[in-house]
Structure formats: structure tokens, C-alpha cells
Amino acid sequence: MYHKVFGPKSSQLHNMNLILEQIKANGPISRADIARNLSCSKSMVTINIEELIRYGLVKETGKGNSTTGRKSTLLEFNPKSYFLIGADIRPDHFKVIISDLDGNISFTHPFKLRNTNPNYLIPTISRFILLTIERAGIEKTAVLSVGIMVSGIVDPNLGIVKYSALLGWHNPVELAAQVQEAVQLPVYVENDVNALALAEYWLYYNRQTISSIAYIYINKGVGGAYISSGAICQGADFAFAEFGKLIISGDQGPASLESYASFDSLIKRFKIPLKQSRIKALNDYLSINKETAFQLYAFLISCLSQALTIIVAVLNPHIFLLGGGLEFPDNFFRDLIENTRVMLPALPNRTLRIISASLGQEKEALGAAAVALSNTRFKFII
């Protein structure tokens, strides 16, 4: 049976996260310095440090310099105490990686599939996960869990892919349970864009300064995700933040953002001849054909600014990320912010920080690793 693991109480997770952030940012660091930086008691720090050391997440590295009294024991993060498996099984992205707890990829195994029928794909994915662990030379006991990212509607609580048009899955697939039985490790499944947004939050943002992220992914379709305090917002039907379904206005009348701004829609609208139907090919074309690039980026600004206006008004995130691999010129985000701000009320003055996602396509499988981590007792690391 598929089991979903739940971790410690939120207050304990919060304290551990605060302390671990201090160690990751400032280590090697003493307990006293952590308590001073956080303006909390040394006893609270000591209790949580003992837990972190017991878990293997933190290690003592020696003594610090001191002009008075006893030298302090220094602490540092131990990201290689455990490993995460990430499996990206989106079309054109079939890959298994091994990552440490700091998002460093130690092993990558790309592979090809003959077809995406679940009866073929699930045994194949399971075999590649075990093969990746073997070739990486790590003990299976050092693997915390396996995360799988899939395009489509996913019920992460049950580990079921309810529907995936790109994989051709029109009936529910119990993906997590079947892979878990085969590999004998905890396995978790998540929508691909949700997973990518979670990885961005894990690797590049601090929840004390950035607590919410709105993520828009432009590729074959236009996907969306929303991260709040380190957690994916799912919604009642696991379809929260479907930003590509927002209705905007254009020369074809009211229609979804996806119908105007997806990869295929852009190629068709601007009559771009590509030998390969990939974002990289589009980027290469736009880098040479400046006039088409100017028109395409202006069109995207018009489309995205309408969608962002709605998202800001309803969700008011701290930051927007645009992912999917499309490369933007230097002035793109400045113009996008200006266009969006014009459509918002003057007061209150809304936060508008819009930038490119940091994960390159070669590292997108870290989204699956983030899903794996978020379902363990160490989810406070995110």
C-alpha cells in the first residue's frame, strides 16, 4: 500500500529551519552565535542542534577562536548525509538524477522510452531508478526517497496521475504505489510545474525573506504553480494556480493565456520555421532574427501583463518566476513590470518583482528531488 509520510509539528520544523538556515549561510558557526543571530535562548538552539546532529544533517567541525573563556564548538551543514532520487518523466525530459540535500547533482542518467504506456513505462522507470543508484555507487539506505515529476493533473496525496495529455494517460495511473513496490523506497509524485516551483524555492530563496512565489512555465503549454511558506498550494482538485487558463484579451478575442503564449501558439503566430520543436531551437532563431524577436517579446509582454495583473490582485506574491527555457532580452522584465503596473490600481503600491527562473533545463529534474525531500521528515530544509 502507498503511504504518505507526515513530519514533526510545524513549530519544531520552523525552529529547525531557522537554525539550519543560519548554519548553511554562516557555517562553521557556534551555538552561541546562532542564538545571538536569532535573538533566542541558547537552550532552544542546543535542543534543536542535538536533533539535527542526531539526524546527521549537522556536524561538529572543530573549535572556534575565542579571546575569553572556552573555545566554542563550530557547526556546519552536512548535505551528503542523505541523497534524493529525482525522476523527470515528461516528454523530451526522461531523466533520473541523484541529488544531495543542497541540490547538488552527483549523478545523472538520461534515457529514452519506446512508448509512454504505463504498462511499459512504470517497470522501465523502476529499473532505471535502481540502475542509477547502483551506478552512482551509493548505498540504498542513504536514499531518503524518490520524487517523480509528471505533466498533468496529479493527486500527490495518493500518488496518482489522474490525467496526462502529453503522456497519453487518459485514465488514472497509480504511479507512486507501483514504482514504490518495485524499488522498495518511498516514492512521491507531483505535477511538473509544481515540482519546478518547489525546487526554485528550495535552492534559491529564504522563506524568512521570500515566503510566496508565483511561477509561470512557458513551453508546450503554459503551466503555473504557487508556493507559500515552502509548500505547494494544491487546491481542492489539485489544480491551484493554473495560470495558463486565465482569460486574457487579444486579436483573436478573449481566450486563455495558454492559447496565446504557448510554444506552439507562438511558432504558429509568427510563422517561425524550426527543424526541431524545442525551446532551444526557438531561442537560436530569435537570437538571429531580431525583428521577429522584437515582435514576439512585445506580444508576450502584452499577454503576460494581463495575466500578472490578475495574479497580483488575487494572490499578491512576493516574486514572479518565468520558467520553461525561453530566453528574454535585458529590457523584457522592465517593460513587463511597467505594463503590469499600469493596469493595477495606484494604491496600494503592489510588489512587482518578476525574473527568470534559475533552474536551467539540464537541472529541471531537481524539481522531482524537491518533491522527494518535501515528503520526508527533513522537509524543513525547504
pLDDT recorded at residue 71? 75
Please determine, for residue 168, whether its predicted confidence score (pLDDT) is greater than 60.
yes
Is the same domain home to 94 and 69?
Answer: no
pLDDT recorded at residue 65? 60
Please determine, for residue 68, whether its predicted confidence score (pLDDT) is greater than 70.
no
Q: Which of 74-78, 128-132, 149-153, 357-361 has the lowest mean pLDDT?
A: 357-361
Is the same domain home to 16 and 87?
Answer: no
Indicate whether 4 belongs to any domain: no
Indicate whether 61 belongs to any domain: yes
The 10s digit of each residue's pLDDT in 234-249 is 999 999 999 999 999 9
The 10s digit of each residue's pLDDT in 92-112 is 778 999 999 999 999 999 888
- Whole-number Å distance between alpha carbons of 359 and 370: 12
- Residue 269's CATH number: 3.30.420.40
For range 277-293, the mean pLDDT: 94
Is the same domain home to 253 and 149?
Answer: no
69: pLDDT confidence band, cut at 50, 70 and 90? low
The 10s digit of each residue's pLDDT in 26-66 is 889 999 999 999 999 888 999 999 999 999 999 998 776 64
Is the same domain home to 151 and 184?
Answer: yes
- Residue 62's CATH number: 1.10.10.10
Indicate whether 177 belongs to any domain: yes
Indicate whether 3 belongs to any domain: no
Indicate whether 339 belongs to any domain: yes
pLDDT recorded at residue 10? 64
Question: How many structural domains does the chain have?
Answer: 3
Is the same domain home to 31 and 89?
Answer: no
For range 326-343, the mean pLDDT: 95
For range 280-291, the mean pLDDT: 96
Is the same domain home to 171 and 307?
Answer: no
For range 242-261, the mean pLDDT: 96
For range 115-119, the mean pLDDT: 91
Q: Three-state secondary structure along the chain?
A: CCCCCCCCCHHHHHHHHHHHHHHHHHCCEEHHHHHHHHCCCHHHHHHHHHHHHHHCCEEEEEECCCCCCCCCEEEEECHHHCEEEEEECCCCCCEEEEECCCCCEEEEEECCCCCCCHHHHHHHHHHHHHHHHHHHCCCHHHEEEEEEEECCEEECCCCEEEEECCCCECCCECHHHHHHHHHCCCEEEEEHHHHHHHHHHHHHCCCCCCCEEEEEEECCCEEEEEEECCEECCCCCCCCCCHHHCEECCCCCCEEHHHHHCHHHHHHHCCCCCCCCCHHHHHHHHHHCHHHHHHHHHHHHHHHHHHHHHHHHHCCCCEEEEECCCCCCCCHHHHHHHHHHHCCCCCCCCCCCEEECCCCHHHCCHHHHHHHHHCCCCHHHC
pLDDT recorded at residue 2? 42
pLDDT recorded at residue 261? 97
Structural domain boundaries enclosing 39: 10-77
pLDDT recorded at residue 278? 87
pLDDT cut 70: percent of the chain above it: 95
Mark which of 77, 104, 128 sits at the end of a domain: 77
Is the same domain home to 236 and 342?
Answer: yes
Is the same domain home to 190 and 314?
Answer: no
Is the same domain home to 86 and 73?
Answer: no
Is the same domain home to 245 and 257?
Answer: yes
Indicate whether 224 belongs to any domain: yes
Indicate whether 1 belongs to any domain: no
The 10s digit of each residue's pLDDT in 3-29 is 444 344 567 778 888 899 899 888 899
Mean pLDDT of the chain: 91
Is the same domain home to 247 and 343?
Answer: yes
- Indicate the pTM of the whole model: 0.90
Higher pLDDT, 189 or 55: 189
Mark which of 57, 77, 97 sits at the end of a domain: 77
Mark which of 25, 44, 77 sits at the end of a domain: 77
317: pLDDT confidence band, cut at 50, 70 and 90? very high
Indicate whether 204 belongs to any domain: no
Please determine, for residue 251, whether its predicted confidence score (pLDDT) is greater than 70.
yes
Is the same domain home to 248 and 349?
Answer: yes
